[in-house]
Structures are given as structure tokens and as C-alpha cells.
Amino acid sequence: MKAVILAGGFGTRISEESTIRPKPMVEIGGKPILWHIMKLYAARGVAEFVICAGYRGSMIKDYFANYFLHRSDVTIDLASSSITTHSSDAEDWRVTIVDTGEDTMTGGRLKRVAAFVGDGTFFMTYGDCVSDVDLDALLAVHRSEGALATVTAIQPPGRFGALVLAEDHTRISAFHEKPTGDGGWVNGGFFVVEPAALDYVDGDATVWEREPLERLAADGNLAAYRHTGYWQNMDTLRDKMVLERQWASTAAPWKTW
């Protein structure tokens, strides 16, 4: 199976970083978060990736064009303009990077890479979140449900602590630090998709999370895999700092490889 990663957005809410690089290239522990996401899939045996590039997509191309060189011991013969590699710890990935346009919406990006996906079931996710999601279990649910698309559903914790007020409303009887949200399940990314689901995408202006998913759901073609483990996106600089601290702890929750 292949994994498609959406990596073309502007990342405006983390502009401190995204003014100079696409958000998927923002580094956690010295490696782009895109690399961390790919490692999640590689741990499950996925070695083929299709990256939907857009904003500053050339930086993603440059990174992978030089990846093998940077991960290898080399002899550079200046006289003959040749390079000989001796050993490398580069992964055995096949990476296709497609310029899907700067202003294209998420659904449009998927539609643009349809030819590179082929006619087989594929994984799909966003280029800014990591998780310890069980990809095998996700795929099993998708196949058992026979849906055209399956989304990983999560219940993110609240961003703020919750106060429990006493009956007189002037005293606090309890305090819960960042409890689970309102109990609703939300889109956590990490999809499994059938190529036929792309027929629900009209064009570049289509937002995958709106019309296509809504229509798939209405037609009974959208399944859910409920994930109750770790999940963290990198939407803001604060989120990046959280991920950096977790990676530095040597026990990053998403490091399943």
C-alpha cells in the first residue's frame, strides 16, 4: 500500500516557522515532522509515499533529493565529478512529490495525485500530526466495513483546565487539568481510502473534510476507527514545543519504530 500525505498548505497558525518553510518541514528533534509521519507508516511496512506539495514545495523536493547523500558515507572525486557511496542508513522509501498548487484545497490535492495512487487502497493523512495509531487495526476496520473511506476518530483533551464550582458558585470544589473534551469524536486524520472515494471530489476548490466526507457519510460509505491512544498535531508554535519536549524525553509516544 501507498501512503498519501497532504503537505501543501500555508500553515498560517504557525507563521513563526512557516514563513520560511512549509509546515511539514518544520523540525522536531532535528527532523521534519514529515519524516516522523513517514516513519510511522514505514514501521508498518509502507515504503511508497505520495506527497501532495504546494507552498514552498521545492524545499520538500530538495530534502529528499539530497536525503540519500546526507545519510551516506561518500567519496567525492572532484577531478572526475563523481560520487561513490560506501554505506548508508537511508530508508528504502520510494517518494513521489507532486506539485498540487499553492491554493488547492485538501480534496483537490487528493484528486490531483489520483494517477500516482493507482487503483489500490491507500493510506492518507496530513503532514502535521503524529500518533501511535494502530495502522493494522485501522486497515482491518476499513476492510471489514467495506467503506470507501475510513477516518481515525479521536477525542482530544481540552486545551484548558476545567473548574467545578460549588453550589453557591463562589467556591471551586474540584479542578481537572485538561480533561477530555466534550465527549465528541473528531477527525484525527489517518485515513484509509479507496480510489473510488476521489469521485466525490469535484476539483481544486473542494475541501476533503466538507463535501466529500459529508456525501460519503450520507451514502453510508464512510467508516470510523476509534483511536483512544496518543495523538498530537502541530498547529501552533506551542504545539511544536510540546512535541519537542516529548521527543527530547527519549520516550516520544509516537515513536513506534
Q: How far is CA 253 from CA 64, 151, 229, 244, in A?
A: 26, 21, 9, 12
**Given a cut of 90, is residue 176 above it in pLDDT?**
no
Q: What is the pLDDT of residue 194?
A: 98
Confidence tier at 177 by pLDDT (50, 70, 90): low
- Residue 116: name the closest of 164, 50, 177, 53 by CA: 50
Strand-pairing partners, residue 189, are none
**Given a cut of 90, is residue 159 above it in pLDDT?**
no
- Angle, vertex CA 209, rays to CA 208 and CA 211, nearest 5: 70
What is the DSSP pairing of strand 149-154 with strand 222-226? parallel
**Given a cut of 60, is residue 169 above it in pLDDT?**
no
CATH architecture of 2-156+183-248: Alpha-Beta Complex (3.90)
Q: What is the pLDDT of residue 173?
A: 59
Q: What is the pLDDT of residue 210?
A: 95
Q: Which of 91-105, 121-135, 169-183, 238-252 has the lowest mean pLDDT?
A: 169-183
Residues 93-131 have pLDDT tens digits of 999 999 999 999 999 999 999 999 999 999 999 999 999
Q: What is the pLDDT of residue 22?
A: 94
Residues 192-238 have pLDDT tens digits of 999 999 999 999 999 999 999 999 999 999 999 999 999 999 999 99
Q: What is the mean pLDDT of the chain?
A: 92
Q: What is the pLDDT of residue 161?
A: 65
Residues 131-146 have pLDDT tens digits of 999 999 999 999 999 9
Q: What is the pLDDT of residue 162?
A: 64
Residues 186-196 have pLDDT tens digits of 999 999 999 99
- Residue 228: name the closest of 132, 135, 142 by CA: 132
Grid cell digits, residue 126: 496530513
**Given a cut of 60, is residue 51 above it in pLDDT?**
yes
